[in-house]
Amino acid sequence: MPPVRIAPSILSSDFSKLGDEIRSVIEAGADWIHVDVMDGHFTPNITIGPPVVACLREHCSVPLDVHLMITDPAAYIEDFANAGADIISFHVEAVNHPHRIINKIKDCGCKAGIALNPGTSQEEIEFLAENLDMVLIMTVNPGFGGQKFIPEMVRKIQYVRAMMGERDVQVDGGIDQTTAPVVIQAGANVLVAGSYVYKHPSRLEAIDSLKAAAPEYSS
């Protein structure tokens, strides 16, 4: 399995001072910064677009992991790539021709990921696996931060890890000190954590507690 990485989600940060919020978690040991992009159609919320990502890039010294929870990801791939995204993930539920979007992401110089909602079977992406850099498994229903982890997703993580080999398997939703060991043991290596990191009294302690679940840190 690839190294475990912690990717705090800015969805749970203070949007009035995003630059400071990003720097604080990077200084605390974050490996990536996770950016949730919502359009009010695919998910009930609206968050941010390419201009904000471009501003984030100026404050971010680690990879920017952009998660597109939108109905027409193909129309925005170039915009987010040009804004500074390093990894772009889109939802298989939102598109008819996922191969085209994967190729478009890679043509823009970014790593390509595909995301699965809790109700979507991992078999939906099996034919795409060899073309992917990452699979993102939603362990809550998308749209809002602070939700509880769905335990039934553990088997999906195991299945996707077997499918992806040494490539990244990301989990997003309800990740904290209790669920981190569970998802890592199942095969996840990129842990998105929003509320747990940003609402914790010590962001350093929060990130350290997540990393402590990984064999390479705990041994």
What band does 219 get if pLDDT is binned at 50, 70 and 90? very low
Per-residue pLDDT tens over the stretch 42-58 = 887 878 999 999 999 99
Query: What is the spatial distance between Cα 196 and Cα 213, in angstroms, rounded to a whole number?
Result: 15
The token pair at 62 is 């680690």
At residue 75, the pLDDT reads: 95
Per-residue pLDDT tens over the stretch 65-100 = 999 999 999 999 999 999 999 999 999 999 999 999
At residue 30, the pLDDT reads: 98
Per-residue pLDDT tens over the stretch 123-168 = 999 999 999 999 999 999 876 666 789 999 999 999 999 999 999 9
Query: 12 exposed, middle or buried (CB, 10 Å; 0-12, 13-18, 19+)?
Result: middle
Sheet containing 64-69: order of strands: 5-8, 190-193, 168-172, 134-138, 111-116, 87-91, 64-69, 33-38
At residue 146, the pLDDT reads: 63
Domain 5-218 has CATH 3.20.20.70: yes
Mean pLDDT of 176-180: 95
Spacing of C-alpha 186 from chain mean position: 17
Question: What are the structural domain ranges in the chain?
Answer: 5-218
Cβ atoms of 5 and 191 within 8 Å: the answer is yes
Query: Mean pLDDT over all residues of the chain?
Result: 93
Query: What is the spatial distance between Cα 153 and Cα 167, in angstroms, rounded to a whole number?
Result: 19
Cβ atoms of 125 and 92 within 8 Å: the answer is yes
Q: What is the pTM of this model?
A: 0.94
At residue 44, the pLDDT reads: 79
> Given a cut of 50, is residue 105 above it in pLDDT?
yes
| DSSP reduced 3-state for 211 | helix
Active site residues: 36, 172
> Given a cut of 80, is residue 217 above it in pLDDT?
no
